[in-house]
Amino acid sequence: MPNPGNYKDTLTLNSVPAGKYNLEWIDPISGKEKNSENLNRAGGNLQLKTPVYSIDIAMRMNRQS
């Protein structure tokens, strides 16, 4: 059984190609966006901090052209 709380994590994505990205953090229960940001990356590993969430958080990352 999930244990609701106030969680915040750090994630590392390895070998992310260089480019511009749009990142969205989504509450999977409500489907609502909690936070979004635009990133301009030189490439390599990418360290991300999640927003505070209670049970689960989902992240959608789209490369911009």
6 pLDDT above the threshold of 80: yes
Q: Tell me: the pLDDT tens digits for 14-48? A: 999 999 999 999 999 999 999 999 999 999 999 99
Domain-wise residue ranges, the chain: 16-53
In this structure, which amino acid lies at residue 50? Answer: T
pTM of the model: 0.86
State the pLDDT confidence band at 3, using cuts at 50, 70 and 90.
confident
pLDDT exceeds 90 at position 65: no
Give Cβ neighbours of residue 22 (< 8 Å, ≥ 6 apart).
36, 37, 38, 39, 61, 62, 64
Distance CA 46, CA 31 (A): 25
